[in-house]
Amino acid sequence: MRASASAAPLALDGFRERVQECNLRDAQLEELRSFVPFAVQAEPAGLLRPEFAAQLCSSFPAVFERHGAKVTLVASLKTPQARTEAVGACMRRLRDDGRIAGWRDELFPVATAFDAEPLLLLERAAAPFFGIRAYGVHVNCFTRGADGHLDLWIARRSRTKQTFPLMLDHMVAGGLGHGLSPSATVVKECGEEADVPEQLAAKARPVGFVSYMTLVPEGVKRDVLYVYDLELPPDFVPSAADGEVEEFMHWPVEQVAETVRTTREFKPNCNIVLVDFFVRHGIITPESRGFIALVAALRSGDVA
């Protein structure tokens, strides 16, 4: 394969910076220590900014209460459904007061782990306030030439997107809502975002996950992205099915790597997924100084 046989090992500094930009800086680690754990029935479920924790307990004492160093739901909320309804009513109040913006009417599960039963469901726009773990899928879509060389399909986000307009992105990616498996989400997003037929999308291969943790004004984002590789036939051309994409481009893997390494043109979390792709496909090799630290940093988010 051309890429793995290339001469001098790549300098990894730029890749390391892109991964670090998605994660907590040292000063923020200090800030994170001030966050208040959010528990449901003694199960750890999230992390709250101290001001938000105080607001919940003072504004909604019938729902939220202090329990030692934690904030919990009152014990009378015994079922997921009761919790979902009670917390949902509080969140709608905060939305109406202008405290929570960008309401989505989409429910995210709150749970101790991806495959644990949800403790409650929470409006997506409120999720960052609660510092719950959120999950998504990113699909590396590529073609392989007769000589083994890889070309990646990448997208430029629409200029009208609320977040990261006109930035580079994976051809297919999306958040994991309640009730849809990672692989089913891949098939759905493949169809919606790039008009990939279901039979072709089903060939996407799960290859692991990356994770990161970062502070945002609302609280802390703790994201896990399931990574997929989808090898496309050479003649396949994606088309923007839902208008969220400005254009699709088909770039040699080296050009994608150089763009990640030397620019901030990609949506930040795409960089982590792409560095993972470069590691798994021998574009980034153990001969480069800092290889182990870079690979270890691809799963910086706490997932335990």
Site of interaction with its own copies (CB under 8 A): 1, 4-5, 113-115, 181-183, 202-203, 205-209, 224, 226, 279-282, 285-287, 289-293, 295-296, 299, 303-304
Phi, psi at 116, each rounded to 5°: -85, 155
Indicate the residue among 20 and 183 with the shorter CB distance to its own copies. Answer: 183
Alpha carbon distances (Å) from 236 to 81, 106, 265: 45, 33, 25
State the nearest-atom distance from the C-beta of 303 to its own copies, in Å: 5
Tokens 């030439």 sit at which residue? 145
Q: Which residues lie closer than 8 Å to 163 by C-beta, 6 or more apart?
A: none
In the chain, helix, strand, coil percent, each to 5?
35, 30, 40
Q: Taking the complex as a whole, how short is the minimal distance between the CB of residue 19 and its own copies, in angstroms?
A: 14
Q: Is 202 helix (H, G, I), strand (E, B) or coil?
A: coil
Least distance to its own copies from the beta carbon of 124, Å?
20
Closest CA to 56 of 39, 72, 40: 72
Q: CB nearer to its own copies: give 88 or 175.
A: 175
Give min distance, CB of 12 to its own copies, in A: 10
Which CB atom, from 126 or from 201, has the smaller least distance to its own copies?
201
Closest to its own copies by CB, 50 vs 208, is 208
Q: How far apart are CA 91 and CA 130, in angstroms?
A: 11
The two structure tokens encoding residue 127: 């999720």
Least separation, in Å, of the C-beta of 18 and its own copies? Answer: 18
Six token digits for residue 254: 């080296």
By beta-carbon proximity to its own copies, the closer residue of 100 and 213 is 213
**Class of residue 220 by CB neighbours under 10 A (exposed 0-12, middle 13-18, buried 19+):** buried
For residue 178, the minimal CB distance to its own copies (Å) is 16
- Residue 75 or 292: which CB sits closer to its own copies? 292
